[in-house]
Amino acid sequence: MDLKDVIRYEADRIDAEMRRDLAETVGVAPLLAEILEYGLFSGGKRVRPLLTVLCSRLCGRDDEQLYRLAAAFEYLHAATLFHDDVIDHADTRRGRMSVVKRYGRDGAILAGDFLHAQAMAMVGHHGGVDALAVFAEATRGMVNGEFLQMDQCCRADLSEDDYYSIIRGKTALLIGAACQIGVMFAGGDDRYRSALRAYGLNLGSAFQVIDDLLDYQGDSHHTGKAVGNDLAEGKVTLPLILALQQAGEKERAEVAALIQDEGRRGESFAVVTRFIEQFGGYQLARRQAEQLAANAVTALEPFRRSVDDQSLHILVQLVQYVIGRRK
Amino acid sequence: MDLKDVIRYEADRIDAEMRRDLAETVGVAPLLAEILEYGLFSGGKRVRPLLTVLCSRLCGRDDEQLYRLAAAFEYLHAATLFHDDVIDHADTRRGRMSVVKRYGRDGAILAGDFLHAQAMAMVGHHGGVDALAVFAEATRGMVNGEFLQMDQCCRADLSEDDYYSIIRGKTALLIGAACQIGVMFAGGDDRYRSALRAYGLNLGSAFQVIDDLLDYQGDSHHTGKAVGNDLAEGKVTLPLILALQQAGEKERAEVAALIQDEGRRGESFAVVTRFIEQFGGYQLARRQAEQLAANAVTALEPFRRSVDDQSLHILVQLVQYVIGRRK
């Protein structure tokens, strides 16, 4: 099976697991049930649960309970998206109305809280308290990443380190946790645990760097979202950071003034795009994403002789997919 | 010690525990840390943690770890308040600016998520996965209660059963869980577990009935909040439900029309208050609160000969306090 088939096959299994779990949860208010149905089953790729499944398999365990554990990552991810879309005033998600747009702010906040609680209970139940600690740490890290980002809004002097702290929290920690918890579930030893956590952290960071690149360079026809969102919201991301490092004092000051002036930020997209292009920001950012991707693949080294070479192969393909994506 | 002293003494211990826990959580973004400090330490009575402590003691366990477990209930409670105040557009909380008013919607949502995750991890760590399951069930129940309430907004035909389902979710389940988890922590047997859970559920329901009474009858000088909020928001609570049951067809229809007309709801407070008074709704609701309180005390029966008669005594006093409060 090639990657797309595997993703589709495993996503179906995760979806079935979520449906089973929701059906077992009795007494859910009708409106809540409708929001969960709408918000959860919208054709996501279920990458986080897939990582848990693959990492557990790679360490020798594959059973029904693994999917119950893995589904928790999709619940938490969905909870995060519900709340993020409230915060970002996002009207669309996965090519259709966001939960907040369709059901309003109160429904989005509360349904997110419901999934959050359910996710925690599932990880505790199927993965044990050590897995729960990792899971909760990633959740707190996501929140913290959002705060760091708010705090550093519109700052042209944002460093690469600051940027990586933000995306680690926002994106990479949960992906790393999905991998690590897969190992823990299978009883894999510390070496495996830290190897696959490192794989996930690097994969997640590479994913976010590419995402931030696509926010400048993406074809909105392909990505399903408009370009220039980050800049419009005052988010300074890697391509711009790296271009600012290369630019002279004068150009840097000009761009910094543009970013800080909320009134001009809308019209400044063309100027900033040209600036990043001129100073090689796109190329440099892509190179860093490729380095992160290479690190992810290197982290798989201990599994080179794994009996489960299919799971290993998919983990490698996932890295290539993240780096190669155009949407 | 009388009840107020006990509450103050134990609240200080819980506060110290929360401060210790927050200090141990490294790398928290400055703004998040500020919101947590502001939102958590505002003079709450810490009743939920107190119940966990008392119920564990009553079953023979009292140690440092008990406070670590108990503090989780205050985290979850605070997380709920942060989100509730976003949903209700509440500007004040405990006599000062709410978190959402002071730090904005995004900060309130995210800080709530942070505490939510931290609370789950603490219960898992100190109480184990069975306690976590109870805790998460209560959390989902709170969300569900909010949805039931939204769903049944402005309905003059709301039944007593509907009302009790809502307040069970919104208020009683977490208080019941605080008691039950105290027993579980101490290794108390099933009989103790269900007895103290029943105590908590009844106490929580009595608390909410009184709260709903005070929303009509309270002196805003004492309660620190304006009366008539529930009616203005279209929430039909017990005094009105019971008055509607007593009223004739014609009066019922008049009041139903008033409630459903959002434009007139503001001016209708005086009319509805008189209506409830006329048909004995306040008295009937208070009688139900007293019955719930009596049930709570009866649930303590198995502990009549407990060696820890001080904890038992405080649990009884708490019931009296809830019934007697004027704010």
> If you measure CA to CA, which chain A residue comes closest to B108?
A87
Name the 3-class secondary structure at A97. Answer: strand
Rounded to whole angstroms, how far apart are CA atoms A215 and B186?
Answer: 54
Mean pLDDT (chain A) is 94
CA distance B269 to chain A (A): 25
Residue A95, both tokens? 């090519």
Closest to B258 (Cα-Cα) out of B246, B242, B284, B276: B276
> Residue B46 and residue B48: Cα distance in Å, rounded?
6
The rounded distance, in Å, linking the Cα atoms of B274 and B149 is 24
B197-211 pLDDT tens trace: 999 999 999 999 999
Q: How far is A151 from chain B (nearest CA, A)?
A: 7
HSE-up of residue B11 (Cα within 13 Å, Cβ side): 14
pLDDT in tens, B237-252: 999 999 999 999 999 9
pLDDT of A238 > 80? The answer is yes
From the list A114, A136, A144, which residue is nearest B29 (CB)?
A: A144
Q: What is the pLDDT of residue A104?
A: 97
Q: Which residues of B touch A89 (CB under 8 A)?
A: none
Q: Which of A109, A120, A146 sits opposite B120 (nearest CB)?
A: A120
Instruction: For residues A70 and B149, give the distance between their C-alpha atoms in angstroms, rounded to a whole number.
Output: 32
Residue B178 near residue B200 (C-beta atoms within 8 A)? yes
Distance between A110 CA and the closest CA of chain B, angstroms: 6
CB spacing of B147 vs A29 below 8 angstroms: yes
A267 CB-contact burial (10 Å; exposed 0-12 / middle 13-18 / buried 19+): exposed
Structure tokens at A140: 């707190």
Q: Are A83 and A139 in contact (CB under 8 A)?
A: no
Instruction: Please give the Cα distance from B196 to B292 (Å, whole number).
Output: 14
- Contact (CB<8Å) B109/A113: no
- Is it the case that residue B223 has pLDDT exceeding 60? no
- By C-alpha distance, the chain A residue nearest B147 is A29
Residue A223's pLDDT band, with cuts at 50, 70 and 90, is low
Which 82-101 residues of chain A touch chain B by CB within 8 A? 83, 86-87
Which A residues, 125 through 164, put their C-beta within 8 Å of a C-beta on chain B? 125, 128-129, 132-133, 135-137, 139-140, 143-144, 146-148, 150-151
Shortest distance between the Cα of A189 and any Cα of chain B, in A, equals: 21
Nearest CA in chain B to A126: B129
Count of helices and strands (H, E) across chain A: 16, 2
Residues of B in contact with A109 (CB under 8 A): 83, 86-87, 109
Better-scored residue on pLDDT, A234 or A114: A114
Q: What token pair was written down for B120? A: 């789950």
The C-alpha atoms of residue B264 and residue B234 are separated, in whole angstroms, by 11
Which residues, 6+ apart, have CB-to-CB distance to B148 below 8 Å? A29, B162, B165, B166, B169
What is the C-alpha to C-alpha distance for residues B243 and A34, in angstroms, rounded to an integer? 34
> What residues form DSSP beta bridges with B92?
B97
Place of tokens 């988010």: A235
pLDDT in tens, A302-318: 999 877 899 999 999 99
Q: Is A30's Cβ below 8 Å from some Cβ in B?
A: yes
CB A203 within 8 A of CB A299: no
Name the nearest CA neighbour of B147 among A262, A239, A43, A106.
A106
Q: What are phi and psi of A132, to 5 degrees?
A: -60, -40
Using the predicted structure, report yes or no on whether residue B299 has a pLDDT greater than 60: yes
**Per-position DSSP letters for A242-276, written without gaps between them:** HHHHHS-HHHHHHHHHHHH-HHHHTTTHHHHHHHH
Q: Judge whether B121 is closer than 8 Å to chain A, CB to CB.
A: yes
Pairwise CB contact (< 8 Å): B144 & A114:
yes
Give yes or no for a contact between B21 and B122, defined as CB atoms under 8 angstroms apart: yes
CA-based nearest residue in chain B for residue A162? B29
CA distance A142 to B40: 20
Q: Tell if the CB–CB gap between B117 and A121 is shorter than 8 Å.
A: no
Rounded Cα distance, A87 and A240, in Å: 24
With CA atoms as reference, the chain A residue closest to B115 would be A140
Of residues B118, B129, B148, nearest to A128 (C-beta): B129
3-state SS of chain A: helix, strand, coil percent to 5? Answer: 80, 0, 20
Return the ∠ at Cα B270 (arms to B268 and B273), rounded to 5°: 105
CB neighbour class for B241 (10 Å; exposed up to 12, middle 13-18, buried from 19): buried
CA distance linking residue A156 with residue A255, whole number of Å: 8
The answer to whether the beta carbons of residues B200 and B172 sit under 8 Å apart is yes
Q: Alpha-carbon distance A119 to B117, whole Å?
A: 10
Cα separation, B84 vs B95, in Å, equals 16
Is residue B326 scored above 90 in pLDDT? no
**Any idea of the CA torsion for A262, A264, A266, A272, to the nearest 10 degrees?**
-110
Q: How far is B311 from chain A (nearest CA, A)?
A: 30
**What is the nearest CA distance from B169 to chain A, expressed in angstroms?**
11
Confidence of residue A45 (pLDDT cuts 50, 70, 90): very high
How large is the average pLDDT for residues B111-134?
Answer: 98
- The Cα B107–Cα A299 span in angstroms is 36
Residue among B141, B32, B74, B68 nearest A121 (CA): B141
CATH homologous superfamily for the domain B3-324? Farnesyl Diphosphate Synthase (1.10.600.10)
Does residue A29 belong to the interface with chain B, where contact is any CB pair within 8 Å? yes
pLDDT tens across B269-293, in order?
889 999 999 999 999 999 999 999 9
More confident residue, A223 or A25: A25
Confidence of residue B266 (pLDDT cuts 50, 70, 90): low
Per the CB < 8 A criterion, the answer to whether B182 and B160 are in contact is: no
Among residues B303, B24, B79, which one has the least CA distance to residue B179? B303
Q: Torsions phi, psi of A93, nearest 5?
A: -155, 130
Which of A154, A197, A169 has its CA nearest to residue B28? A169
What residue ranges do the domains of chain A occupy? 3-324
Contact B129 A124 (CB under 8 A): yes
Q: Quote the CA–CA distance of A149 and A163 in Å, as a whole number.
A: 8
- Tens of pLDDT along B150-179? 988 889 999 999 999 999 999 999 999 999
Q: Are A177 and A263 in contact (CB under 8 A)?
A: no
The band of A225, judged by pLDDT with boundaries at 50, 70 and 90, is low
Give rounded-to-5 percent helix, strand, coil for chain B: 80, 0, 20
Question: Is pLDDT above 70 for A261?
Answer: yes
Mean pLDDT, range B22-48, rounded to an integer: 94
Q: Are strands B92-93 and A96-97 parallel, antiparallel or unpaired?
A: unpaired
Torsions phi, psi of B92, nearest 5? Answer: -125, 155
